Structure 1
């Protein structure tokens, strides 16, 4: 693809003009990666912002995964457009005039880079390491490499940072997971096959290396590792997974980790995990709301990125070292929010508050239910006649849905405005009619008229407060890593259920934040996959525990409760 030689100076009144060329970056095994180098048309050495991904370095933002309707929406809402804008990458039309060189790389087996395609792999970490070290010694480079990008481009940042390439100076992973198993492919142990199949077939395979379009279907298949098969063949978090993703104890470069409160099921969890567990002495956390890529390209988002990168790549005192380490959007429903700075996460002043479930009244209350009670919901035995949401879609919440497939618990109206911010946990005593069960949970904000107050999130304008999932046979937790308010699952063995026996399940509801207005209620929805509005992008017709009818037990020793992070 021939890209224009742009004179940015005429359009932005910045100092540098932009030039670009395609280059080949040598790898340790004698192969190479194709890259576009965008740099100032000026003498000197410049800091480098690098990306490596499988989406095609020459594919324009608007061309990525055309079957995904959110791409058109994201592009139409973006404040950052132009012929060089590519999906989830920093725009060279902005960054080159700021005095940066931009290096956009096709990973092995993608675009113009030959070799076997194996995404999110150990070999990707090695290739990324080699590219960083090559760029760090080029005559146009000042020797400092920063990584900046969204989603996949953030996931690979965490991974290569744990390899500790000497010329890597800092990373900015924006809405990107760390633990590929628990954050991305198997949230709660339930395979995210709806999204993964769509993403693999539409976002990745369409960009596989195929010089002049001459490779046959059989040649292309022989020249790749089928990621969806890797997922299906490895349902436990074993070395196949841990060898691929980041060892956070080895991530020591400065980090700006940016998350989204309303991206449960894919992006939210990883950025908190990375911030809390990276070994870096200098790390910041930013949490926003709104669209998945939109906030990255806003003037406010880019100003934050520039403040961080200017300090670590250029040595400019931007004041970031004097700022608190945590910047949080405090949502109030819709796209309304205010910013607040904090010094840690979760907040030290959090009041971890239990709201107990009462199966007889369907009430959530701070007072435990003393009398035992049960409530049941059915599995999805008639799933073939059901409508399963496609990836990137969410049904609106309705009380009029088939309530045989779910149970709803509500608080009484809040007497005062109440802020919830942080990790959320549901302790649920439950039994199944089969040897397993998949449990889907949503937490919602309901106004006095009974209407849900929704939030502007990564993939929808109708996000609930948060959601959580658990396959009961994968309920085993790691006691060293779990806390009273957040379970950390081992995911290392299946522990099947005895039908009819009652089990305590600690269900992680992904971190979120919301200010509940006076008079509003919280609604906790527990059910099968068909519960309305379930955002986990798993809604397909396979790999589910369909037949299980579930009984929820409350009262006395069955202390089922919702643990909320209340901020006084």
Structure 2
């Protein structure tokens, strides 16, 4: 039934996912074993082979004659010669030119422990021919052919796992949904779930911080010569010409132009659903390990992917205190007393590709870092099974309280769409680049709050823990026709520093919600499903008060005793979001008003868990 709904263009409801998970027993792991008390234990085995060797580059020819640049790395003996196989095979499908050493397309740690590793540039990238169209149907059809090829090679034993981060995590999930018979495990590091909502048009605004940077990176890396270029210069010249021509005429440049100008690409539809792994996650039938980050560019989609995949097979979720680059490597895991990401991957593949009793089924199902406690915790599932909905109300003048305000009031601030440069969000949505040049802003939101409206709780009387998606329900008006609404949650310490925890962004004109696709907790909507279609767009108009449900991306944090929780509201989150040109004109030179009172109870609803349910990971 789920597959039929998706083929009709309907996304599986998050609320349905939660209900099914509850029916299956929220304290049970995929193998039926309770994991509520599980702790991480070390897993390691010695190197089997003293080295590795990369075979001469050999392109794979697709059904339409396009050649994909491919490299194979095998375990090697002390003489540097390939060891006798066959081996289980890891496949990495990348858009970042597998010949560039700075962007890992091979994992020597795993190769030296008995795995062959195949790395392939997807069509239109690296040294592969064709036109790149970012996870298009044509590209996805290539994935199946690549797995066919890898399973049939003499050094392959026909058992395939997939591995890689970011682009290479996304391709894994899209490939897994095709259910190739040789594909038996996936280890997807910082993958995207929903192309539209997670990253490109969060809240209906164009992500100008990351998307042009990313498309430019893929394009630039496609013309960089590598060591194996000398082995096949004709393929390099052919692919470079095709890649550049396609970038200028058919995809990268036209897509960015449409996004900025507000063309059809700026609205949700088949283009985005085709490229979103969450749309086909219900078809994934291989054991899947998902790695995410609390400040990752795919912060929203990573736990939702785990949630969808786990309904049908074994899945695990690891979410760290990472932006995109740190999450790609699992930075700091060993310093925290946890296994490294390579060790986790080895344990996963040893069990699922080599049938070893590696013990991965006894490891925690969900492992998350908690801001505020600055430590790792484990749970039986995501969202946390013990979560309960709790609502806090904005009080006129700046207080945040559990009771609705007795009297009405309005707070106002200037409508500046480029607000947000001095925030941790600016670092997050440029994959850490702006965090390098503006570290004080990443640690303290107070400069950014000068033009934001803030609502703060009294000091907490005990530790206050939150885990899962969050929603702000606001009554908003503007002196301009439209406005952006950005909501940040921050932790205010005893010295007054305001540290951003998570946030959400929404154009008021894109506020239409499908209640059937939204997520609920204890009867409260806690994760709205916005339509983001041209037909649903509804400009509020000057002075009109409208209800706006802002999706705040899921997080895990503790407000320690004596500290305070703050909601900071502003009109924008630049460069994460900038309205398309037509919408931007509607939002300039205005004043945004947040209404609070008995008839307009602006509030935020949180998934609160008992503090003692935040179980240490080790």
Alignment partner of 1:235 out of 266, 285, 309? 266
Partners in 2 of 1:96 and 1:400 — Cα distance? 48
Partners in 1 of 2:486 and 2:380 — Cα distance? 33
Q: Which deviates more from structure 2 when the two are superposed, residues 541-550 or residues 441-450?
A: 541-550
Cα deviation, residue 536, structure 1: 5.8
CA contact (8 A) 1:109 1:224 kept: no
Aligned pair 1:519/2:540, yes or no?
A: no
Aligned pair 1:432/2:478, yes or no?
A: yes
Partners in 1 of 2:544 and 2:600 — Cα distance? 13
Partners in 1 of 2:257 and 2:186 — Cα distance? 30
Distance of aligned partners of 1:327 and 1:368 in 2 relative to their CA distance in 1, 3 Å threshold: same
The answer for the alignment partner of 1:25 in structure 2 is 60
Partner of 1:95, secondary structure, is helix
Aligned pair 1:34/2:74, yes or no?
A: no
What does the per-residue CA deviation read over 1:406-438, in whole Å, with 9 as the maximum and x for residues that have no partner? 211111111112222211111111112233211
CA contact (8 A) 1:158 1:178 kept: no
Partner of 2:411, secondary structure, is strand
CA contact (8 A) 1:467 1:509 kept: yes
The answer for the alignment partner of 1:344 in structure 2 is 381
Alignment partner of 2:155 out of 130, 134, 140? 140
Distance of aligned partners of 1:230 and 1:140 in 2 relative to their CA distance in 1, 3 Å threshold: farther
Distance of aligned partners of 1:230 and 1:133 in 2 relative to their CA distance in 1, 3 Å threshold: farther
Aligned pair 1:260/2:293, yes or no?
A: yes
Partner of 1:268, secondary structure, is coil
What does the per-residue CA deviation read over 1:51-96, in whole Å, with 9 as the maximum and x for residues that have no partner? 11221111121xxxxxxxxxxxxxxxxxxxxxxxx24x4x432111
Partners in 2 of 1:238 and 1:149 — Cα distance? 28
Partner of 1:477, secondary structure, is coil
Distance of aligned partners of 1:222 and 1:190 in 2 relative to their CA distance in 1, 3 Å threshold: closer
What does the per-residue CA deviation read over 1:535-561, in whole Å, with 9 as the maximum and x for residues that have no partner? 763369966433442111111121111
Q: Which deviates more from structure 2 when the two are superposed, residues 182-191 or residues 297-306?
A: 297-306
Partners in 2 of 1:137 and 1:283 — Cα distance? 27
Q: After superposition, where does 1:154-173 map in structure 2 within 5 Å? A: 154-173=169-188
CA contact (8 A) 2:422 2:447 kept: no
Partner of 1:44, secondary structure, is coil
Q: After superposition, where does 1:212-227 map in structure 2 within 5 Å? A: 212=237, 215=241, 219=245, 221=247, 225-226=251-252, 227=255
The answer for the alignment partner of 1:468 in structure 2 is 504
Q: Whose helix proportion is higher, 1 or 2?
A: 2
Partners in 1 of 2:449 and 2:294 — Cα distance? 29
Partners in 2 of 1:548 and 1:172 — Cα distance? 47
Partners in 1 of 2:599 and 2:403 — Cα distance? 14
Partners in 1 of 2:266 and 2:249 — Cα distance? 24
Cα deviation, residue 296, structure 1: 4.5
Partners in 2 of 1:310 and 1:204 — Cα distance? 36
Aligned pair 1:380/2:395, yes or no?
A: no
Distance of aligned partners of 1:206 and 1:112 in 2 relative to their CA distance in 1, 3 Å threshold: closer
Cα deviation, residue 510, structure 1: 0.6
CA contact (8 A) 1:195 1:538 kept: no
The answer for the alignment partner of 2:404 in structure 1 is 368
Partners in 1 of 2:58 and 2:314 — Cα distance? 33
Task: Tell me the number of residue pairs that the alignment of Structure 1 and Structure 2 aligns.
Answer: 508
Alignment partner of 2:166 out of 139, 151, 158? 151
The answer for the alignment partner of 1:558 in structure 2 is 600
Alignment partner of 1:183 out of 198, 211, 216? 198
Cα RMSD, aligned residues only: 2.7
Alignment partner of 1:490 out of 531, 534, 537? 531
Q: 5+ unaligned residues in a row in structure 2: which ranges?
A: 1-45, 76-81, 225-234, 331-338, 520-524, 611-618
Partner of 1:476, secondary structure, is coil
Q: How does the TM-score come out when normalised to structure 1?
A: 0.83
Aligned pair 1:358/2:405, yes or no?
A: no
CA contact (8 A) 1:133 1:166 kept: no
Partners in 1 of 2:58 and 2:350 — Cα distance? 26
Cα deviation, residue 215, structure 1: 4.1
Q: After superposition, where does 1:397-546 map in structure 2 within 5 Å? A: 397-399=444-446, 403=450, 405-452=451-498, 454=499, 464-483=500-519, 484-492=525-533, 493-529=536-572, 534=573, 537-538=576-577, 544=584, 545-546=587-588
Distance of aligned partners of 1:277 and 1:548 in 2 relative to their CA distance in 1, 3 Å threshold: farther
Q: 5+ unaligned residues in a row in structure 1: which ranges?
A: 1-11, 62-85, 455-463
Cα deviation, residue 225, structure 1: 2.0
Cα deviation, residue 291, structure 1: 4.6
Distance of aligned partners of 1:402 and 1:307 in 2 relative to their CA distance in 1, 3 Å threshold: closer
Distance of aligned partners of 1:267 and 1:401 in 2 relative to their CA distance in 1, 3 Å threshold: closer
Distance of aligned partners of 1:220 and 1:561 in 2 relative to their CA distance in 1, 3 Å threshold: closer
Cα deviation, residue 37, structure 1: 0.4
Cα deviation, residue 33, structure 1: 0.8
